């Protein structure tokens, strides 16, 4: 397995992604919006087509051949996810519609345990999906929401964390990696300190999992979430990992088929894990393709991916710093994943993003569902370029050329 950026065969990898061959506004597509969603390799596309062409059927309920084939493939995908994240048992893997669904599932369950006077701690670097559900929980239970501060460097203020943490803290929520800035948070330290006061920790891994292979047992994390569409998989499917004993304590999130043991008009009893949290017909094809996507990325190797993406990040940062009027937000390149969030002084990010799109380059502009971060920096939003292992330095050069044109046109 390749472990250096120098030996990384990016051209071979790019051949796996048919969308990279298309043109946008007459130019070759340069896709730098990977933090929003990654592109899908042919191997995963083929997996999706194979399901609908050859064994499309509902799972768990049928004795006929197609249903059994679909069930086997779906449950095999769950075990692929289990192995990838090193969960102790497949029952600890709940297949959801994505990170947002996963977080809401946990937040809803904690209504049973929270009371007035309890405290919930979230970080200042969170996506709205890891803020709003906890606000809703506090509104319903009377618990208080506390915010772990961030610094001007775009990292968490760990002294603030220690000051806020106390025996009233019941839950701590933090992303593994900031979607807006790419900051890699010290989740090991956060988990250890939170556990010391009896608090449980949920880590939003949506932005980390394309770049890092988390080991949930080594982390000793209580809950960990991710979305398949960030990891070369399809949209509408993701994962909630939870320690088995904690998941067993939580009440079901939704009622319906599959999550039951026995139903009568007098009383209903619920199925065991993981079925208790998977009411109704799931995204069967999505779950199967999720497993295929993880297999694909593991075939390349996460160490190889990390080394190559770090090289891209360093190069892009160097090229962007050639501009006199640029402001880059967030930490230095050795403390973040392959994301650069920036602005040009005097220019609105939306205007820049619109112009570079005309030149075939896809970047994200706006607040990135992280408005508190933008308010902290007192800006309306940023231009965010996020790289993946199928991007190249030649694409970065095209991006710089496009920015130079946009800069000269708008100034």
- Is there a single domain that holds both residue 121 and residue 220? yes
- Is there a single domain that holds both residue 69 and residue 211? yes
Residue 369 among the catalytic residues: yes
- Is there a single domain that holds both residue 26 and residue 122? no
Which regions of the chain are under pLDDT 70? 1-6
- Is there a single domain that holds both residue 232 and residue 342? no
- Is there a single domain that holds both residue 147 and residue 182? yes
Which of residues 281, 298, 315 is at a domain's end? 298
- Is there a single domain that holds both residue 335 and residue 234? no
* pLDDT of res. 315: 98
- Is there a single domain that holds both residue 91 and residue 70? yes
Asked if 284 and 70 touch (Cβ cutoff 8 Å), the reply is yes
Cα–Cα distance measured from residue 366 to residue 132, given in angstroms and rounded to the nearest whole number:
19
CATH code, 357: 3.90.1150.10
The CA dihedral of 132, 110, 163, 128, to the nearest 10 degrees, is -10
Which of residues 298, 317, 345 is at a domain's end? 298
Return the exposure string of 271-308: e unless at least 16 CB atoms fall within 10 Å of the residue's CB, then b: bebbbbbbbeebbbbbbbbbbbbbbbbeebbbebbbbb
- Is there a single domain that holds both residue 181 and residue 323? no
Asked if 43 and 375 touch (Cβ cutoff 8 Å), the reply is no
- Is there a single domain that holds both residue 331 and residue 290? no
- Is there a single domain that holds both residue 235 and residue 358? no
Residue 211 lies in a domain: yes
The one catalytic residue in 47, 226, 232, 369 is: 369
Residue 378 lies in a domain: yes
Residue 72 lies in a domain: yes
In 155-280, the DSSP E strands lie at 169-175, 200-204, 223-227, 238-242, 260-263, 268-270
User: Cα-flanking dihedrals φ and ψ of residue 361, to 5°?
Assistant: -110, 125
Instruction: State the helix-helix crossing angle for 65-85 and 284-300, rounded to 10 degrees.
Output: 40
pLDDT tens readout for residues 87-110: 999 999 999 999 999 999 999 999
Q: Which residue in 225, 239, 238, 162 sits closest to 193, CA to CA?
A: 162
pLDDT tens readout for residues 166-212: 999 999 999 999 999 999 999 999 999 999 999 999 999 999 999 99
Angle at CA 238, nearest 5°, toward 234 and 244? 155
- Is there a single domain that holds both residue 233 and residue 364? no
Residue 40 lies in a domain: no
Kindly give, in sequence order, each residue whose CB lies less than 8 Å from that of residue 109, ignoring residues fewer than 6 positions away: 250, 251, 253
Residue 37 lies in a domain: no
* pLDDT of res. 5: 61
- Is there a single domain that holds both residue 134 and residue 186? yes
Kindly give, in sequence order, each residue whose CB lies less than 8 Å from that of residue 346, ignoring residues fewer than 6 positions away: 325, 411
Q: Domain total for the chain?
A: 2
Cα–Cα distance measured from residue 174 to residue 194, given in angstroms and rounded to the nearest whole number:
11
SS3 183: strand
Which of residues 278, 298, 318 is at a domain's end? 298
Residue 282 lies in a domain: yes
Q: Which domain holds residue 324?
A: 5-31+301-410
Angle at CA 153, nearest 5°, toward 178 and 349? 65
Residue 350 lies in a domain: yes
Residue 36 lies in a domain: no
CATH code, 60: 3.40.640.10
SS3 209: coil
């Amino acid at each position: 397995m390749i472990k250096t950026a120098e030996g990384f065969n990016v051209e071979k990898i790019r051949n796996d992604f048919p969308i990279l061959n298309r043109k946008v506004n007459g130019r070759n597509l340069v896709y730098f919006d990977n933090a929003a969603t990654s592109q899908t390799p042919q191997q995963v596309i083929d997996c999706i087509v194979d399901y609908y062409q050859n064994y499309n059927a509902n799972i768990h309920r049928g004795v006929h051949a197609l249903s059994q084939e679909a069930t086997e493939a779906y449950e095999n995908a769950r075990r692929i996810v289990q192995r990838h994240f090193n969960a102790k048992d497949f029952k600890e893997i709940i297949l959801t519609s994505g990170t947002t669904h996963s977080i809401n599932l946990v937040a809803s369950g904690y209504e049973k345990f929270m009371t007035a006077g309890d405290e919930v701690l979230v970080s200042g670097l969170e996506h709205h999906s890891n803020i709003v559900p906890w606000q809703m929980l506090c509104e319903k239970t009377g618990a208080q929401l506390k915010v772990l501060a961030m610094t001007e460097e775009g990292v968490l203020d760990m002294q603030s964390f220690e000051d806020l943490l106390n025996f009233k803290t019941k839950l701590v929520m933090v992303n593994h990696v900031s979607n807006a800035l790419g900051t890699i948070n010290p989740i090991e330290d956060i988990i250890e300190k939170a556990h010391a006061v009896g608090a449980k920790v949920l880590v939003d891994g949506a932005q980390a999992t394309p770049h890092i292979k988390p080991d949930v047992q080594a982390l000793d994390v209580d809950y960990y979430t991710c979305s398949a569409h960030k990891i070369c998989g399809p949209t509408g499917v993701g994962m909630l990992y939870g320690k088995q004993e904690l998941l067993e304590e939580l009440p079901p999130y939704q009622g319906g088929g599959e999550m039951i043991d026995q139903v009568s008009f007098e009383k209903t009893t619920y199925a065991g894990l993981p079925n208790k949290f998977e009411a109704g017909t799931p995204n069967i094809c999505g779950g199967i393709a999720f497993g295929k996507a993880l297999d694909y990325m593991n075939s390349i190797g996460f160490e190889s991916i990390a080394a190559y993406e770090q090289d891209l990040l360093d190069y892009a940062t160097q090229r962007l710093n050639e501009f006199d009027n640029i402001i880059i937000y967030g930490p230095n390149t050795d403390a973040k994943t392959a994301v650069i969030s920036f602005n040009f002084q005097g220019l609105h990010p939306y205007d820049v993003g619109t112009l570079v799109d005309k030149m075939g380059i896809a970047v994200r502009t706006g607040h990135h569902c992280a408005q508190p971060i933008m308010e902290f920096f007192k800006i309306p939003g940023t231009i965010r370029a996020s790289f993946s292992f199928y991007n190249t330095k030649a694409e970065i050069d095209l991006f710089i050329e496009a920015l130079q044109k946009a800069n000269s046109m708008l100034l």
